[in-house]
Chain A
Amino acid sequence: MATKTKVSEHSVAPPPVTTSYQDAHEAHGDHDHGHDDHGPLMHHFDDMVQQRESITIGMWTFLMTEIMMFSGLFFCYAFFRWKFHDAFMLGSQQLDINLGTGNTFVLLASSMTMAMAVHCAQIGDRKKLVAYMIGTLIFGGAFLGIKGIEWSADYHEGMVPHFQAFGSRGNWDETGQTWRTSHHAHEAGLKAGPTPEGYVWDYKHKKPVKSEEVKMYFMLYFCMTGLHAIHMVAGALILLVMILMAMNGHFGNGNDQPIEIFGLYWHFVDIVWVFLFPLLYLIAGFHPGGH
């Protein structure tokens, strides 16, 4: 058995079998699957083509389940936006459009570096591969950092329903039921009209809007960006592991598929943001941002 393994390791097709079955482990115990020329062929596949195609379709199918998962939230968003149109406009105006736009570009940049990483993996340029993956990680981290800053500002300005935070611009009152003022609109010289209990004043359209409805916007905003951020964090962690693996010599010699598969995931998470950004930040048209 040992001699057989040696032979297949160096010259002959099919490529060496690596498997996690115990008996097979004994047979191929110390065979390092990272360094052969075609990547490891798992025992239950007939050939590399079958394996590659299976894994690729597997990832696309997984992404389909992800789409269905996000679609539940998008449906809620569509429903409530239809129901509470004015409140959603008002809520959208409270977001910091500069941070949102900046983050969009940061994330698109990360997608570009990821695409470059996939290309480098395919041509076997491991140095550039590692560099581009680190770039992707930095951009991804920057996105999460900016998102964190934005959330923290949201929190301090009292835009997080349920938590009673007090900040500069507006906040929920003590009961958590009514959202009071828009500091920014005050500065812009807009005047509030008479606001009944449980309503907030929409300065742009000069009418009161139910604060519960604005709260619904923010609830969905946090759910959607939160779920997206969870996906980003998961992606960043996987990316970190892959960078370490690449530095240890993986993925360079024809075994580029893991990079490609991860790239699919990363682009998917990007695309989700590409939908989130206009739906959350841009629906009220142009509005001055900044805290």
Chain B
Amino acid sequence: MVSTPAEGLGLSSRPAEEVPAAQGLTPQGETINYLNATTGIRSWLFTLDHKRIAMLYLISVSLMFIVGGTAAGMVRIDLLDPQGFLISPETYNKMFSAHGIVMVFFFIIPAIPAILGNFFVPMMIGAKDLAFPKINLFSWYLYIVGALLVLGALASGGVATGWTFYAPLSSQYTTGPIVFVALGVFVAGFSSILTGLNFIITVHKMRAPGMTWFRLPLFVWGMYATSLLQILGTPVVAITILLLAVEIVFKAGVFDATKGGDPVLFQHLFWFYSHPAVYIMILPGMAIISEVIACFSRKPVFGYRFIAFSSMAIAILSFLVWGHHMFTTDQSPLSAIVFSIISFLVAIPSAIKVFNWTATLYKGSVRLNTPMIYALGFIGLFTIGGLTGLYLSSLATDIHLQDTYFVVAHFHYVMVGSTVMAYMAGIHYWWPKMTGRMYPEGWGRTAAVTLFVGFSLTFMPQFIAGYCGMPRRYAMYDPEYHVMNVLSTAGATVMALGYILPVFYLLWSLKWGERAGPNPWRATGLEWQCPSPPTTFNFDKTPIVTIGPYAYSAEDDEIQDARLDMERAEMEFAAARAKIAADRERMQLEEGHSPENEAVIAQAVTGNAKSADATGATGKENPYGN
């Protein structure tokens, strides 16, 4: 018997879900879904199912997150003391580089598109798979090759270049397996390109009948905008990194000022990709938040088209702002001013999104489930991260703040405070769909709050330290910043707890979690019409779409609540009847037939039936025709 998983939602839910007829059973008696349709390691390593590939990504990306997180932990612990006490300054440089490289290229860029996008873009548009399943699998292998190259390089000594590989630091002044790291990033870049390409074709060509562009869930719009950045930006950083490798191996001098080259050229080429890459990281987060906010406010998203177009606007503007990373280089003042102005413009679509989410909350019937807590955390942290970005895009303040912890705090607010919160929101929101199981709601909420508190404690002090002038990337610092660093490290400990908790309860839920049923959140969207976990081909029949994506309404909720209450009452009534019948049979057996007994029993039956009538309606009186 399936229990009622959505208690935390504050909504009634259907007590028992019938197994769709087409689904069938495995020999073990479980319903057939994408997880158990085929078995064995080969069926996973050679799978073409976008959902399985998403799960492969989930595992590998999570492992890389542990690597990057460990490096961050070492950095933070070392900074407990102004002189550093855990690792040598050189190791410190390698640690923060490892943290940056792994987290940027192997966690945050692939995390949402390759896991949640891979899983849900086809389902949301009513397709059986992405347009190119083989390329999808190939991109995972590219990711693995890239990850192995980088991990190998880190294990064999590491590099101290930071994740930006600035020349000539990377090409002349550091040793170590920088070429292998570059190669790993290059290969992982192609993984990202192929994922983006797949999404673009899928959204263009694989939509179900009736799924018009403006009926696409905003998650899909966000993924589409992200994919544009991936296919247009990533090839440029690929060639840049290739040039860097040529520079190192053949001493080409393209980025070497002593040979007529130009180090700033590297920065231009690098940030032409890497600034859009920042939006590759945040746009998917925003995409998730639109889904979660709508579902847990039980309201259609406010300003659907504005959110959709603001994603595209961010994507386009992101290609025109890379120069704001180079205000302190020899960039001309004129171009600096232009880059500054365009950077300010990015605030407009970002603010549109924040205002629209807030407007969606307004008068919604907000339910504070785990995904929603993450999402609300996202809005707050993203607002801080976004607004401090404006400090950095104005020329004068940037001169003061450049390369301080203020920058570190700013981009962590955007990348971790926003994107990772959104990622966690998405993982929790879709976990029942991906695995068929509910996670324990109480633990989920605890982890969400822990992460928010830990994050704020970690990075708020860094704003202050940075504003006071503490430079980033130094293994040692002035004692005046000691307090802030201790606070920050304490926060990082709390934050680590916020990450470790979900690992445990999510894994726990795989075996012991309640069965979720197809739609525990009573969410709209095609993905919730499939069984949980979905079957290999998602839909038995291609769905036909007739309405927009966010058909939430409080009235519908009430009607459905009433209907489900009635269903439950009906079941209770039937159970009571059965109990009476059983009682009667037992009494007859025990005491034998006698007119006296019959009379007692008859009275008992009428009495019970009346009380059952009083608690709930009968099936015949159900106005909704259940």
Contact = CB atoms under 8 A, between A and B. Distances in A.
A219 B252 contact: yes
Nearest to B234: A65
B562 interface: no
B542 A46 contact: yes
A54 interface: yes
A127 interface: no
Contact of A44 (B37, B129, B193, B251): B129
Contact of A215 (B133, B246, B259, B536): B259
Given A50-B205, A72-B269, A216 B254 contact: yes
A65 B197 contact: yes
The residue among A75, A76, A84 with the most chain B CB atoms within 10 A of its own CB is A76
Contacts of A220: 254
A105 interface: no
A85 to B, nearest CB: 13
Contact of A61 (B231, B238, B246): B231
A244 interface: no
A46 B204 CA distance: 14
The residue among A61, A66, A73, A80 with the most chain B CB atoms within 10 A of its own CB is A61
A223 B200 contact: no
B113 to A, nearest CB: 15
Interface in A21-62: 21-23, 42-46, 50, 53-54, 57-58, 61-62
A271 B23 CA distance: 51
Given A76-B265, A219-B254, A22 B235 contact: no
A53 B269 CA distance: 33
A229 to B, nearest CB: 14
B9 interface: no
Contacts of A216: 253-254, 259-261
A162 B197 contact: no
B294 interface: no
B622 interface: no
Contacts of A213: 260
A202 to B, nearest CB: 16
The residue among A22, A75, A161 with the most chain B CB atoms within 10 A of its own CB is A22
The DSSP consensus for interface residues of chain A is helix
Contacts of B200: 61
B253 A57 contact: no
Interface string B219-248: 000000000000111111011101100100
Given A69-B235, A210-B260, A216-B253, A20 B133 contact: yes
A43 B537 contact: yes
Given A43-B128, A58-B132, A162-B252, A65 B235 contact: yes
Contact of B201 (A20, A58, A65, A83): A58
A138 interface: no
A68 interface: yes
Nearest to A57: B201
A44 B131 CA distance: 8
A72 B201 contact: no
Contact of B232 (A44, A64, A212, A223): A64
Nearest to B209: A46
Contacts of B542: 46
Contacts of B231: 61, 64-65, 68
Contact of B236 (A21, A57, A72, A162): A72
B278 interface: no
B134 interface: yes
Interface residues of A, number: 43
A82 B254 CA distance: 14
B38 A23 contact: yes
B251 A84 contact: no
Contact of A79 (B48, B134, B197, B262): B262
B601 to A, nearest CB: 56
B49 interface: yes
Nearest to A68: B235
Contact of A21 (B193, B251, B261, B536): B536
Contacts of A19: 48
B127 interface: yes
A269 B36 CA distance: 44
Contacts of A43: 128-129, 537
B250 interface: yes
A212 B252 CA distance: 10
B235 A57 contact: no
Contact of B197 (A20, A61, A227): A61
A19 B49 CA distance: 11
A162 B238 contact: no
The residue among B205, B235, B254 with the most chain A CB atoms within 10 A of its own CB is B205
A107 to B, nearest CB: 22
Interface in A1-35: 19-23
B239 A70 contact: yes
A152 interface: no
B316 to A, nearest CB: 15
B240 A72 contact: yes
A71 interface: yes
B43 interface: yes
Contact of A68 (B43, B201, B232, B253): B232
Contacts of B252: 161-162, 219, 223
B206 interface: yes
B419 to A, nearest CB: 24
Interface string A70-98: 11110110011001100000000000000
A62 B239 contact: no
Interface in B96-133: 127-133
B38 to A, nearest CB: 5
B421 to A, nearest CB: 31
A68 B236 contact: yes
A146 B325 CA distance: 44
A210 B265 CA distance: 20
Contacts of B269: 72, 75-76
20 contacts: A21-B49, A22-B43, A44-B127, A44-B130, A58-B197, A62-B197, A65-B235, A68-B232, A69-B236, A69-B238, A71-B235, A72-B240, A73-B243, A161-B251, A161-B253, A162-B251, A215-B253, A216-B261, A219-B250, A219-B253
Given A53-B205, A219-B250, 13 more contacts: A23-B38, A43-B129, A44-B129, A50-B205, A54-B204, A58-B131, A61-B197, A61-B200, A65-B234, A68-B232, A83-B262, A162-B251, A212-B253
The 9 closest A-B pairs by CB, nearest first: A72-B239, A69-B235, A44-B129, A68-B235, A44-B128, A212-B260, A54-B205, A162-B250, A219-B252
Interface of B: 37-38, 43, 46, 48-49, 127-134, 193, 197, 200-201, 204-206, 231-236, 238-240, 242-243, 246, 250-254, 259-262, 265, 269, 536-537, 542
